[in-house]
């Protein structure tokens, strides 16, 4: 088989009305850019709307000579579909995009050129460019989560979970066991690479209204995002993650101690408990940070 330099992985779950157009468009973009060493891996994640038949028909028609179709017997999740594609691929670079027509897939050649010419580890298409059609309901949690992720990573993260990005395959394999099976895949790999000081660049892109119904549930998935950010933060940056809590507890201890000494002329149990709590959290964070650095 011809060695491929880049694999474009497209997870598909009930995208019957969009998947054919997306794959045909990506194939035409690759041909126009004269990128012959690029393969398209479409992963059907247990669709029940007939997407499986559309993908099989595409493969049979040879719409793209480098099209590979993989089927999950049951729905396993967005991240699980991506990990299946990553394991199936033998390319140097992995590009991921969605099947719903939201991302400007004509920008993929630009992402490929950027990661190879600049020797980067990941290039993220950040949805901060012109013509971004993004749900206001979904943008509310991002007002909290994006600054939080930026704080954990120690750098500005304009878009933590964009589904259009390209990264080195070997980098993703380094963290494959940490990457979740759900929509938090993109957020987790962003934190993993940034916290480990890999070269990551964000480039502005547009974002269109999707074809069909979204599979994201805002409240449930926001809670899962927060949980994954906490877990990944504890894994890679425990001291930084817990530092706000340490500062708050230390501040309460100081304020309570000053009140006890100046007003009550006596040290109360509340002040003692706050002191022990702030000290315990600090020692736990310091120990976790030392273990993290030693394990690397």
- Ordered DSSP codes for 8-34: EEEEESS-TTTHHHHHHHHHHHHHHTT
Compute the chain's Rg from CA coordinates. 23
Closest CA to 82 of 148, 157, 180: 180
In a domain, 247, yes or no: yes
21 and 153, same domain (yes or no): yes
In a domain, 164, yes or no: yes
137 and 153, same domain (yes or no): yes
85 and 133, same domain (yes or no): yes
What's the burial of 52, exposed, middle or buried (CB within 10 Å: 0-12/13-18/19+)?
middle
CATH code, 179: 3.90.550.10
141 and 189, same domain (yes or no): yes
Domain coverage including residue 192? 6-236
What local confidence, expressed as pLDDT, does residue 47 receive? 93
In a domain, 284, yes or no: yes
In a domain, 283, yes or no: yes
222 and 118, same domain (yes or no): yes
112 and 174, same domain (yes or no): yes
Number of domains present in the structure of the chain: 2
84 and 227, same domain (yes or no): yes
Report the alpha-carbon distance of residue 246 to residue 134 in Å, rounded: 36
166 and 255, same domain (yes or no): no
25 and 116, same domain (yes or no): yes
In a domain, 1, yes or no: no
146 and 258, same domain (yes or no): no
23 and 118, same domain (yes or no): yes
The vertex-24 CA angle with 18 and 28, nearest 5°, equals 145
Please report which residue ranges of the chain form alpha helices under DSSP H: 19-32, 51-61, 78-88, 108-117, 136-153, 169-174, 185-195, 218-236, 238-259, 269-295
Would strands 122-126 and 200-204 be described as parallel, antiparallel, or unpaired? parallel
243 and 228, same domain (yes or no): no
Report the alpha-carbon distance of residue 245 to residue 57 in Å, rounded: 55
Q: How many residues does the chain have?
A: 296
What local confidence, expressed as pLDDT, does residue 1 receive? 44
In a domain, 208, yes or no: yes
Q: Is 199 helix (H, G, I), strand (E, B) or coil?
A: coil
Q: Are 13 and 47 in contact (CB under 8 A)?
A: yes
In a domain, 165, yes or no: yes
Residues 6 or more apart whose CB falls under 8 angstroms from that of 75 comprise 13, 45, 46, 47
Q: Are 98 and 12 in contact (CB under 8 A)?
A: no
What is the full per-residue pLDDT of the chain (296 aa) written as tens digits? Answer: 455 699 999 999 999 989 999 999 999 999 999 998 899 999 999 999 999 999 999 888 865 568 999 999 999 999 999 999 999 998 999 999 998 889 999 999 999 999 999 999 999 999 998 888 766 666 666 777 888 889 889 899 999 889 999 999 999 999 999 899 988 899 999 999 999 999 999 999 998 876 656 555 656 666 776 777 787 888 888 888 899 999 999 999 999 999 998 988 888 999 999 999 999 999 998 888 888 776 66
């Amino acid at each position: 088989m011809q060695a491929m330099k880049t694999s474009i992985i497209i997870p598909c779950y009930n995208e019957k009305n969009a998947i054919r157009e997306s794959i045909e468009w990506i194939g035409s973009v690759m041909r126009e850019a004269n990128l012959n060493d690029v393969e398209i891996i479409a992963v059907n994640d247990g669709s029940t709307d007939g997407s499986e038949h559309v993908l099989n028909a595409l493969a049979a028609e040879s719409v793209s000579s480098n099209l590979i179709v993989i089927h999950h017997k049951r729905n396993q999740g967005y991240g699980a579909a991506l990990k299946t594609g990553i394991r199936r691929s033998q390319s140097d670079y992995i590009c991921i995009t969605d099947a719903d027509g939201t991302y400007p897939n004509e920008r993929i050649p630009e992402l490929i050129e950027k990661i190879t010419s600049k020797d980067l580890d990941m290039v993220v298409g950040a949805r901060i460019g012109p013509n971004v059609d993004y749900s206001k309901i979904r943008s509310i949690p991002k007002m909290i989560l994006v600054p939080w992720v930026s704080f954990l990573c120690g750098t500005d993260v304009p878009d933590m979970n964009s589904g259009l990005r390209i990264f080195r395959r070997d980098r993703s394999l380094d963290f494959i066991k940490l990457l979740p099976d759900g929509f938090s895949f993109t957020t987790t790999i962003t934190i993993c690479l940034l916290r480990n000081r890999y070269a990551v660049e964000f480039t502005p892109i547009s974002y269109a209204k999707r074809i069909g119904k979204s599979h994201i549930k805002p409240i449930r998935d926001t809670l899962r995002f927060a949980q994954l950010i906490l877990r990944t933060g504890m894994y890679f940056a425990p001291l930084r993650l817990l530092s706000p809590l340490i500062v708050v507890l230390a501040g309460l201890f100081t304020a309570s101690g000053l009140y006890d000494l100046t007003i009550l002329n006596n040290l109360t149990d509340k002040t003692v408990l706050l002191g022990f709590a702030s000290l315990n959290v600090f020692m736990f964070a310091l120990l976790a940070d030392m273990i993290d650095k030693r394990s690397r």
